[in-house]
Amino acid sequence: MPGPGLELYHLLLFFLQELTAGLQSEEDKSSRLSKMKTKLENTIAETNDELEREKRLRGDTEKVRRKLEADLKVRNLQLYLKTSLIKDTSN
């Protein structure tokens, strides 16, 4: 018949195995979360880069639009002046 010391040993061994299994499970979970965090950080960095590219592109597009509008105004004024000159010379 086993003594109380042996029963205590088996009980402690059981708790140690349970704690070890729980610790391994938590380490696995931590590793998965760490990998997910790294992927999310990379996605955030890529998204921020894309946002900056879009901002630059929007700025460039806006600059071209303003230049084209100014050119159109100049062309319209030139056309108006030429049309007026033709009307004046034909009268």
Q: Mind listing the pLDDT tens digit for each residue in 7-62?
A: 999 999 999 999 999 999 999 999 999 999 999 999 999 999 999 999 999 999 99
Residue 78 CA from chain centroid, whole number = 48
Instruction: For residue 4, give the amino acid letter.
Output: P
Position of tokens 């029963």? 7
Taking the C-alpha atoms of residue 24 and residue 30, their distance in angstroms, rounded to an integer, is: 10
Q: What is the DSSP string of 32-52?
A: HHHHHHHHHHHHHHHHHHHHH
- pTM reported for the whole predicted model: 0.60
